[in-house]
Amino acid sequence: MALEAFFLPANPGQRFALLHWPDSACEPSGAVVYVPPFAEELNKSRRMAALQAQAMADAGYAVLQIDLLGCGDSSGDFVDASWEAWLADVQLACAWVQQRTSTPLWLWGHRTGCLLANEAANRMHCPVDLLFWQPVLVGKQYLQQFLRLRLAAELAGGDSRGVMEALRQQLRQGQPVEIAGYMLSATLADGLERAELLLPHRSGRVEWIEISSRADASLSPAGVARLTQWQAAGQEVRSTVVNGPAFWQTSEISECNALLQASLLAMQRVPAA
Amino acid sequence: MDIAGEVVSVLDEVLSLNGRAKDFSLDTPLLGALPELDSMAVVALITGLEERFGFCVDDDEIDGSVFGSLASLVDFVTHKLSS
């Protein structure tokens, strides 16, 4: 496997990207663009994303990882990021990888990355397969959990009353708020709040994987409801539940080997006729 | 349902305690005493409890006293389940 790190020219500035290319002389069996999760979840899941990208490349896939605007080594600060700019970055990454290879395209999203991947796929004029890791279904709910980080930080001080309302007020007035070291702009909060995992319009298939710490776990009730709805609408979608830690939020950086295997199996499945 | 046992299992998982939470007693102090319980862990703990027990926590129910000890956390969950 060949690993190449480079900057992708973008507007504004540039985006840091990592390309994992399979060793084989043949054309890759698929191209994958990774769409990362939000803020600290991105940092916590870097290791798993790297392991999965390597495993995919070893299995013959070309994988592009990109740091979105204001994240990692890309241009801008977090406060400069917006939902629309991130969607443009995902589309930029897809266009770049599709210039390198004409094999079928996968968008691999994690958490809020699934919201971005799904919307980016809807906007593209080609079929895209989707791999989801523990998808966030409703951006509004996720924003509430993110804002709660600030509330939680104030708990120890004892004066936490009204913290959430004050944050929302600030955002409504168009001002950024600082949450867990991240300066969240009103624009990004608004875009996230409006995002929802709706039925893919133009996609190929959806492989939906949830991770649970319980060995006997089944798919989350919210996941079941969404998948049933999509299947009824004719969308090809399959779900898998694997046993492992919630590595995107655990205190220590953790791994989930079952997920690495399950993702490859899901991608290599023969699509239904 | 063994509410205390379920709460301990969510705590152990969210804080990556590797089984240490099983040794907690009801008066074990949590917030401010357990270094693993940072703000990200508090939010993950709330989400974990919501998912495990199927209730919904409002913003104004989140108070430092809830996370003071294992006993106060178990009381909170018991109250949520009965309301």
What ipTM score was computed for the predicted complex, to two decimals?
0.85
CA A250 to chain B, closest CA, distance in angstroms equals 6
Mean pLDDT by 10 residues, chain A (273 residues): 95 96 89 97 96 97 97 96 98 96 96 97 92 96 94 83 93 97 97 95 90 84 92 95 91 91 94 65
Q: Of A44, A136, A251, which to mutate for an interface test with B (greatest number of B Cβ within 10 Å)?
A: A251
CA A142 to chain B, closest CA, distance in angstroms equals 10
CB A153, CB A180: distance < 8 Å: yes
pLDDT at B79: 96
Residues of chain A found within 8 Å of residue B47, distances taken between Cβ atoms: 145
Angle of helix A186-194 relative to helix A83-100, nearest 10 degrees? 70
pLDDT at A273: 58
The number of beta carbons lying within 10 Å of the beta carbon of residue A226 is 22
Q: A25: Cβ–Cβ under 8 A, 6 or more apart, which residues?
A: none
Residues of chain B found within 8 Å of residue A241, distances taken between Cβ atoms: none
pLDDT at B34: 93
CA B1 to chain A, closest CA, distance in angstroms equals 17
- What would the two tokens of residue A48 be? 């798993």
Residues of chain B found within 8 Å of residue A145, distances taken between Cβ atoms: 43, 47
pLDDT at A217: 81
The answer to whether the Cβ–Cβ distance between B36 and A251 falls below 8 Å is yes
Q: How far apart are CA A186 and CA A121, in angstroms?
A: 25
Q: Coil, strand, or helix at residue A237?
A: strand
Residue B13 pLDDT grade (very low, low, confident, very high; cuts 50, 70, 90): confident
pLDDT at A272: 66
How distant, in Å, are the alpha carbons of A136, A227, B52, B54 from that of A222? 10, 9, 13, 11
- What would the two tokens of residue A198 be? 């709706």
Looking at chain A, list the stretches that DSSP marks H as alpha helix, in order from N- to C-terminal side: 40-44, 46-58, 83-100, 112-123, 139-155, 163-172, 186-194, 221-232, 257-268
Q: Which of B13, B42, B44 lies at the smallest CB-CB distance from A155?
A: B42
